[in-house]
Amino acid sequence: MQKLIAGLHQFHENVFRRQRDFFERLAHGQKPEALFITCSDSRIAPNVLTQTAPGDLFILRNAGNIVPPYGPYPGGEAATVEYAVAVLHVRDIIVCGHSHCGAMNALLHPEGTEELSAVRGWLVHAETTRRIMRENYRQHGADALLNAAIQENVLVQLEHLRTHPAVLAALARGELNLHGWVYKLESGMVHAYDPAQQQFLPLAPSEAAMPEGARGSAANI
């Protein structure tokens, strides 16, 4: 905790004071460019990864970068997505998974969550991912299986996003793009899903938006 408190003081003295005008403008409202959905994993820092400033990203984080399908009892994820699209009018939604994901490992090995009832309940929203892995990736070794699950889960969550009314409406108007990314902790590289080639490829600066309905099997990265 002392490290955090020291950091707060450093921020106020060395960052906030030098950029006071910028932070005061932020107090009057926000206009983020994208909704960035990623894992709660402490090793993922969206603003560091994308080199963006405060106000550039609307961020949704949870274990496994999961977006539950829209339903009769929408929760915090649905509210965040709806607000980002319908009120903030973000132009892009990014679902960003990452290598060595503990949530995906738990999905593949549920025996490790026997005493974690909340975790087991949460991972129900990735049941489609689990079934894809069980039925289509039986011959993969442990590392390849985890990598494939991470990628497949990103694609599954993109499909879940399309069940949200605000997202569907914005897609129909051509005002929203969906992107699937996987960040590799060990290399710092980001791979983006290419619907034309139906695989994750190193992200290029001119990466095109994922067309609505694009879906294919993940390929190892």
Residue 147 lies in a domain: yes
Give me the sheet containing 190-194, strands edge to edge: 57-62, 34-39, 92-98, 177-183, 190-194, 199-202
**Same domain assignment for residues 60 and 159:** yes
Range of the domain at 16: 1-29
How many Cβ atoms sit within 10 Å of the Cβ of residue 56? 17
Q: What is the pLDDT of residue 104?
A: 97
Residue 8 lies in a domain: yes
C-alpha 165/C-alpha 70 separation (Å) is 8
**Same domain assignment for residues 40 and 128:** yes
Q: Averaged over 185-189, what is the pLDDT? A: 95
Cα–Cα distances in angstroms (integers) from residue 92 to residues 30, 61, 133, 148, 201, in the given order: 15, 16, 28, 24, 19
Residue 146 lies in a domain: yes
- pLDDT tens track for 49-94: 999 999 999 999 999 999 999 998 889 999 999 999 999 999 999 9
**Same domain assignment for residues 14 and 105:** no
- Answer whether residue 219 shows pLDDT above 80: no
Question: The tokens 């129909």 sit on which residue?
Answer: 172
pTM: 0.89
Number of structural domains in the chain: 2
Q: Averaged over 184-205, what is the pLDDT? A: 92
Residue 102 lies in a domain: yes
**86 forms bridges with which residues in the sheet?**
none
- Answer whether residue 171 shows pLDDT above 60: yes
Percentage of the chain with pLDDT > 70?
Answer: 93
- Answer whether residue 209 shows pLDDT above 50: no
Q: What is the pLDDT of residue 220?
A: 43
CATH number at residue 185: 3.40.1050.10
Q: Looking at this protein, which amino acid is placed at residue 149?
A: A
Strand ranges, E, within 63-161: 92-98
On average, the pLDDT of the chain sits at: 91
> Which is it for strands 34-39 and 57-62: parallel, antiparallel or unpaired?
parallel
Which tokens sit at 113? Answer: 């969550």
- Asked if 58 and 90 count as a contact pair (C-beta separation under 8 A), the reply is yes
- Answer whether residue 212 shows pLDDT above 60: no
Residue 18 lies in a domain: yes
Instruction: Pick 58 or 203 by higher pLDDT.
Output: 58
Q: What is the pLDDT of residue 213?
A: 43
**Same domain assignment for residues 16 and 107:** no
- pLDDT band, very low/low/confident/very high, at 144 (cuts 50, 70, 90): very high
